[in-house]
Structure 1
Amino acid sequence: MDNKETYLQIFMEKERVAANKEQTIDVLVRIVPPAESAESGERPKLNIGIALDRSGSMDGNKMRQAREAAKYCVDELLPTDAFSAVIFDGNVDVLFTNQPATNKEMLKRGIDRIEARGSTALHQGWVQAGLQVSERLSGGGIDRVLLITDGQANVGETRTDRIVQQAKDLAERGISTSTIGIGQGFNEDLLVPMAEAGQGNAWFVEEPRDMVRIFETELKGLVAQVGNTVTLGVTPSPGVKVEDLLNDFETDASGRYILPNLRAGSPLDVLVRLKIPAGEVGETLLAANFELRYTDQATQKPVTVTAMGEVAYDTAAAVAELRTNDQVLTTVTLLTNARARKEAMEYMDEGEFDDAASILRMVAFATDDAFDVTPSAELEQEIEAVRDLNRLIADRSNDMLTRKRMSYERDLRRKSR
């Protein structure tokens, strides 16, 4: 039966834990949004501002496919939605001021006239797109900038930390940012954290022909959004300590974890590692309280959902006979692998390619072992992805591609995408 409200599921590593010893356990908090975004079938209003790189490196197929993707976006909008477009090279031009998406043919003709030239004023192009979106805030809908680039910011503000902070500031005003990096010349160390701080998505387009598919996925995610400004609070009971959160989500000023926006039909898995005290056989420990907070997309009202993680103690012999929860094992494997990708990237940046390759080989072994215990589609896909990374780093044929894949795969796994 389809759920109508968001709820939390708590999965322990095992049904029980061994008594008489302090230990660390893994707890999977699964956030399950409604199966549908609205009972009426109505989707939220969209206010989309595109910031499109038209620098010289975008010439040819990249620009052709970017234009097609932008026109696809226009076609998918309703007359009640809003659209604006900014184009940038060394200069920034407003192609379309913010306006209702009613005259689609006119919008698409304008997009068709975009040509590549010049350098990359990425920051100012994104800022101008944000200003256009702010001209017509949707008031309960979704206001988003889509930044599309194949290069690195080399005109105006270029400092990553400043741009990322500005993306965060813009998101706090209700305007989110998604980034789309094309090819291999862009800076993933800017675009990925920029999208995360901006409460949007980071996309990697290896081949220009994938542009329309990426736009389709982005727009489907927008119309399925059911919650924003999402946070998770973890309150351990006395004697219990939060040792880790494997997703590596940032925290806000109050210590709550900042989570991605909630999408209908797309659960989000958060893995919390707790250190618990020794207990007696037969005892039950209320280990931690988990509190989800978010703003409902349809009503714009705050929502709070809570659940308690409970631990039962048993003999060591009895616990040894228990099977590890399949979902917990899969999530731990994927999130551990995400961290390993970050470590491998750091070694690559230092020129230590043998160490990076060694980490990826260990990831492959660990994933194979997990698949043997609990075969799943997620782990099968992970095995293939890790195999590709190992091949790329072994032959050193394309280090830029290897690094970008690791960066984006890490981001997707952290967010259950």
Structure 2
Amino acid sequence: MKITTQLDINVVAVDLDDEVTIMLDLEAPATDADQQRPPASLEIVLDRSGSMTGAPLEGAKDALIALVRRLEPTDNFGLVTFDHTAQVVVPAGPISDKEEVIAQIRRVTTGGSTDLGAGLLRGLRELKRAARGGGTLLVVSDGHVNAGLRDVNDFAGVAEKAHMDGIVISTLGYGEHYDETLLTALARSGSGNHVFANDPDAAIAAIAGEVAGLLAKALQAVTLTLVLRPAVEMMRLYNDLPGHALPDGRIMIEIGDLYASEKRRLLMKLKVPAMADLGSVEVATLELEYIELPRLIQHAAKLPVGVNIVPGTDAARRLVHPVVESEKLFQEAQHAKKQASEAFERHEVGSARAHLVEAKSHLSRALSLVPVEAAAEFEKEIASVDRMTDIASERSTEYMSKLSRSSYHQMNRKRGRTDDSGIDGSSAV
């Protein structure tokens, strides 16, 4: 894996407290054409409650059938459906008979209420039984939970425990009425993706994208541990990723899995205490650990982060790194976008639009700092925010909340990925 770091400032004034922002860029290795892909393990947990009747369920079934046709006979696949109870439609295991699996998918019909917890727990049990080395579980739902497990924190706890067992949980929210808070919490704690699909075609594309990432997985269980010098403090992790404070004071951040050639970017702000001695000093160490596929090789890398302590007159002349500064502004824009989503969820359209205007302001400032070759990415994000602002009064607040939340997660949690997202279709995270 290619790893690079940059600081917004690399000199700090002697005897003064200061702040330093670290930008960490990761790039997974490309696919080796001579290596055989290891078997993949995928469990689908599909909502078949009454609200999925008609096009939603038929679109989901078409997407799953297309998914099965892409898998190899050695891949593990399973399907659990749920309404007020959970049902095992396709027992998890190798798909040696694709046509029979497809026939079982076609026979799925809609039922009653929505007990997502029952489906999730049954799906996890199936996946653990068939794939002892972990795998991916994808939840597809179009509604709010109205039976069984309901608390968001309980769902997040289940996902976090599953991830510790090597299982990645991704979620697909279908239509305008699902619980985005619940599904995004599941994906966050499960180190997976959250995708918003507004219609059957978007659902098919979204599931196809999720499977493409699964089949091209290059790195697994990527974690970053931040080791701070005494008195240095972690002020902010801009990316909304699961983090854990370890007993020895270190901070472990779950980055998740990366597909071949995928790029990811993290941003962290540290508080550096006043130091009395001039010269170079190490303020932190970044420790990365990951498993390289398909050979299951474990890797570890350490990157020291240092600054120069200089007289105040020298520090006054320092220049802020424009790329790191632009990334800070980019992430401030994402924070404003999340606030817009929350305002839409409360049906406060005026407040939501104001947050989107704020997001554009941050992005415009960032655009003025980036080099020409990076401008297109910022221009695309500005156009996306403009489009959201334009349609805010035309579309329902439910739609806008899900669209802006999904866009936030794509550009914040999975920052650096090259997935495309559509403003009126699906938005990958």
Q: TM-score, with normalisation over the residues of structure 1?
A: 0.88
Matched with 1:69 is 63
Tell me the distance in 1 between the aligned counterparts of 2:56 and 2:409. 24
Corresponding residue of 2:385: 386
1:46–1:138 CA contact under 8 A, matched in 2: no
How far is the alpha carbon of 1:396 from its aligned partner?
Answer: 6.4
For residues 392 and 191 of structure 1, the distance between their equivalents in structure 2, rounded to whole angstroms, comes to 24
Residue 406 of structure 1: which of 380, 404, 407 is its match? 404
Deviations 1:215-248 (A, max 9, x none): 2211121123233333212223345332221113
Partner of 1:373: 369
Q: What is the aligned counterpart of 1:200 among 192, 196, 199?
A: 192
2: CA distance, partners of 1:319 / 1:225: 44
Query: Could you report, residue by residue, the CA deviation over 1:296-320 in whole angstroms, capped at 9, with x for unpaired residues?
Result: 4434454211112232466888777
Contact 2:287 2:303 in 1 (8 A): yes
What amino acid does structure 2 have at the position aligned with 1:35?
A
| Structure 2 residue 133 is the aligned partner of structure 1 residue 133 | no
Q: Give the letter for the 2:218 counterpart.
A: V
- Does the 8 Å contact 2:12/2:309 carry over to 1? yes
Q: Does 1:95 align with 2:84?
A: no
Amino acid across the alignment from 1:183: G
Specify the alignment match of 2:285 in structure 1.
289
Residue 191 of structure 2 contacts residue 254 of structure 2 at CA under 8 Å; is this kept in 1? no
Q: In the alignment, is residue 165 of structure 1 matched against residue 161 of structure 2?
A: no
- State the secondary structure of the residue aligned to 1:200: strand
- Tell me by how many angstroms 1:274 deviates: 2.0
Q: Is the contact made by 2:61 and 2:105 (CA closer than 8 Å) also made in structure 1? A: yes
Counterpart position of 2:239 = 247
Aligned equivalents of 1:219, 1:35: Cα separation in 2 = 18
User: 2:192 is paired with a residue of what secondary structure?
Assistant: coil
More divergent stretch after superposition (53-62 vs 69-78): 53-62
User: Are 2:170 and 1:178 aligned?
Assistant: yes
Q: How far apart are residue 200 of structure 1 and its match? A: 1.9
For 1:278 and 1:39, locate their aligned partners in 2 and report how far apart those are by CA, in whole Å.
Answer: 52
Structure 2 gap segments, 5+ residues each: 418-429
- Partner secondary structure for residue 201 of structure 1: strand
Instruction: Quickly say closer, same or farther: Cα 1:400–1:287, change in 2 above 3 A.
Output: same
Do the aligned residues in 1 keep the contact of 2:82 with 2:119 (CA within 8 Å)?
yes
**Structure 1 match to 2:5:** 10
| Residue identity in the other structure for 2:239 | N
Under a length normalisation based on structure 2, what TM-score does the superposition of the two structures give?
0.86
Please tell me whether the aligned partners of residues 269 and 331 of structure 1 are also in contact (alpha carbons under 8 angstroms). no
The aligned residue for residue 149 of structure 1 is: 141
Pick from 40, 44, 53: which aligns with 1:50?
44
Are the counterparts in 1 of residues 176 and 399 from structure 2 also a CA contact under 8 Å?
Answer: yes
Report matched runs for 1:74-85 at 5 Å: 74-85=68-79
CA distance in 2, matches of 1:289, 1:367: 30
Q: How far apart are the structure 2 equivalents of 1:214 and 1:412?
A: 13
What is residue 211 of structure 1 aligned with on the other side?
203
When structure 1 is superposed on structure 2, of 384-393 and 267-276 the one drifting more is: 384-393
Q: CA deviation at 1:17?
A: 5.5
Separation in 1 of the partners of 2:271 and 2:219?
31
CA separation in 2, counterparts of 1:102 and 1:261? 27
Q: Deviations over 1:74-127 (max 9, x none)?
A: 011111111111222233322111231121112112222223342222221222
Cα separation, 2, equivalents of 1:377 and 1:262: 24
Structure 1: state its 5+ residue gaps: 1-5
List per-residue Cα deviations over 1:150-200 (Å, max 9, x = no partner).
111112222222122112222222222211111111101111110121222
Amino acid corresponding to residue 332 of structure 1 in structure 2? K
- Identity over aligned residues, as a percent? 25
What is the aligned-residue RMSD (CA, Å)?
2.7
In the aligned structure 2, how far is the partner of 1:81 from the partner of 1:198?
21
Q: Is the 8 A contact 1:334 1:382 kept in 2?
A: no
Aligned amino acid, residue 161 of structure 1: N
**CA distance 1:90–1:280, shift in 2 (3 Å):** closer
Partner of 1:329: 325
* 1:23-42 matched pairs, under 5 angstroms: 23-36=18-31, 38=32, 40-42=34-36
Aligned 8 A contact 2:334 2:359 in 1 = no
- For residues 378 and 15 of structure 1, do their structure 2 counterparts lie closer, same or farther at Cα, with a shift above 3 Å needed? farther
**Structure 1 SS opposite 2:191:** coil
How many Å separate the matches in 2 of 1:317 and 1:406? 44
Q: How many residues align?
A: 408
